[in-house]
Amino acid sequence: MSKKTRQVRVGNVLVGGGAPVAVQSMTTTYTRDVKSTVAQIKRLEEVGCEIVRVAVPEMEDAVVLGEIKKQISIPLVADIHYNPNLALEAIRQGIDKVRINPGNLLNGRESLEQIVRAAKERDIAMRIGVNSGSIDALDKQAQMQRIQVRLREDGTLERSDPAEARRLERERLAERMVTKALEYISWCEELDYHNIIVSLKSSTVLTAVEAYRRFSERSDYPIHLGITEAGTLVTGAVKSSVGLGLLLADGIGDTMRVSLSAEPEEEIPVAYEILKSLELRNRGVTFVSCPSCGRVEIDVISVANEVEKRLSKVQTPIHVAVMGCVVNGPGESRDADVGLAGGKGKGVIFRKGQVIKTVPEDQFLDAVLKEVASLLPEGEAKLIYPEGGIKDVAGTHRTRDEGMNLPILPASR
Ligand code: SF4
């Protein structure tokens, strides 16, 4: 059960107040390079990104935002650090939301008030994006508290318990982050501005979780979830899944970004997998594939990877299974909309729980995709199954020559 928050509109996307958790990302291009930025946003749109943020480090980047906005379909957010004039220009350009960082906004309250007045006039949203890195840098006293060794009166050294010290430090930092966000919120409210979304990001999973939980207990403004600088594809996906998963499972979070040191398009499927795992969104392919093991009868890894890649643009909810042998294959495949259960160089294709046919290994990909395509709207089917079929089938013939002598399931045709 998600925690009830206020609802804020970001362009045509509703955030909070019971709306589905919106998935967002951020471009990696130089924003002033309009052509590359728009092309990247289009690729993000194709894979299901619902809100996109662009960095605005200089005025050259701010003045092209209107041009970018004209060419894209999803709401555009300007990410501002330090200079309030960049925010003011971005708002003039017609962006849908401005993100400011309380840890580094020059002239703090005075700048915030200028930005709020402009955002209010245009009726656009603002994210108060607190980041533990910039909060920490501000607080010298907190840095002093990091000292974990103390001299006792008898001259011996007392070392604090590192785990306990880390926990206390985490709590202090989280509290400072929340306090900063609430302070900025109170300044906005004094100007009768409530179009606010809040993030409390940290590269440390437990600090972010602590900060988001604390904030959620004290405020009903919608929350943008993220673990900042989470890492590369594997590290970042795992850290984001743990951190965001813990919060989302508790009903905390209204929009999210999975930050990866990878192409931004790769962030989107990770975000949807997190949301689908928690049954918070139902979009695109829910994919089941076995890891393969010593019983494997087909090249399950190649087939699974290729099937998943080909289905990456599908938005219709559909359940697909690719399984390596008869041990778990038939059960998982029957439960899926389309399933493949491998067996001795052949595979049984299931559709909606029924055995459809048995196909040789070099036709696995073609057969699975054809069945998936038959269950999709025409426009989406074309994306995965071009006319004339698929020639470059997966399969590097890792199948053992003799198989495991396990029974192959009977095929209906
Ligand atoms: S389905 Fe078969 S091959 Fe795949 S992991 Fe299970 S036992 Fe191994």
Other beta carbons within 10 angstroms of residue 220's beta carbon come to 12
What's the confidence (pLDDT) of residue 89?
Answer: 98
Alpha helices in 123-161 (DSSP H): 132-138, 140-144
- One of 3.30.420.40, 3.40.30.10, 3.90.650.10, 3.20.20.20 is the CATH number of 8-146+160-277, namely 3.20.20.20
Residue 401 burial by CB count (10 A; 0-12/13-18/19+): exposed, middle or buried?
exposed
CA atoms of 348 and 183, how far apart (whole Å)? 61
Ligand 1 centroid – CA 390 distance (Å): 26
What's the confidence (pLDDT) of residue 156?
Answer: 79
CA atoms of 359 and 388, how far apart (whole Å)? 18
- Its sign, for the CA torsion 256, 259, 262, 263, is positive
CA atoms of 335 and 324, how far apart (whole Å)? 15
Q: What ligand 1 atom has the least distance to the C-alpha of 294? A: 8
Q: Is the CB–ligand 1 distance for residue 331 below 6 Å?
A: no
Residue closest to 31 by CA, chosen among 7, 62, 73: 62
Residue closest to 405 by CA, chosen among 344, 364, 349: 344
Q: Which amino acid is at 353?
A: G
pLDDT tens track, the chain, 413 positions = 678 899 999 999 999 999 999 999 999 999 999 999 999 999 999 999 999 999 999 999 999 999 999 999 999 999 999 999 999 999 999 999 999 999 889 999 999 999 999 999 999 999 999 998 877 655 555 555 555 567 778 887 776 667 777 888 889 999 999 999 999 999 999 999 999 999 999 989 999 999 999 999 999 999 999 998 778 889 999 999 999 999 999 999 999 999 999 999 999 999 999 999 999 999 889 999 998 888 888 888 889 999 988 898 898 999 999 998 888 888 888 899 999 998 888 899 999 999 999 999 889 999 999 999 999 998 888 888 655 555 444 444 444 444 444 444 444 33
Token duo for residue 369? 């995709």
Q: Is the CB–ligand 1 distance for residue 295 below 6 Å?
A: yes
DSSP secondary structure letters along 66-125: HHHHHH-SS-EEEEE-S-HHHHHHHHHTT-SEEEE-TTT-TTHHHHHHHHHHHHHHHT-E
Ligand 1 centroid – CA 291 distance (Å): 7
CA atoms of 77 and 56, how far apart (whole Å)? 10
Token duo for residue 7? 């609802």
User: What CATH number should be reported for the domain whose range is 285-384?
Assistant: 3.30.413.10
Other beta carbons within 10 angstroms of residue 379's beta carbon come to 8
Residue closest to 93 by CA, chosen among 69, 60, 115, 121: 69
Token duo for residue 172? 């202090």
Residue count of the chain, please give it: 413
What's the confidence (pLDDT) of residue 28?
Answer: 96
The residues, ordered by sequence, that sit 6+ positions from 371 with a Cβ below 8 Å of its Cβ are: 338, 349, 351, 356
Q: Is the CB–ligand 1 distance for residue 327 below 6 Å?
A: yes
Strand, coil or helix: 338 = strand
Residue closest to 341 by CA, chosen among 288, 270, 388, 377: 288
Q: Is the CB–ligand 1 distance for residue 406 below 6 Å?
A: no
Token duo for residue 346? 């052949």
Q: How many helices (H) and strands (E) does the chain have?
A: 15, 17
* Residue extents of the structural domains in the chain: 8-146+160-277, 285-384
The Cα-based distances of 97 to 12, 56, 78, 101, 194 in angstroms read 11, 13, 7, 13, 13
Q: Is the CB–ligand 1 distance for residue 292 below 6 Å?
A: yes
> HSE of 167 in the Cβ direction (CA atoms, 13 Å)?
5
CA atoms of 196 and 210, how far apart (whole Å)? 21
Ligand 1 centroid – CA 334 distance (Å): 15
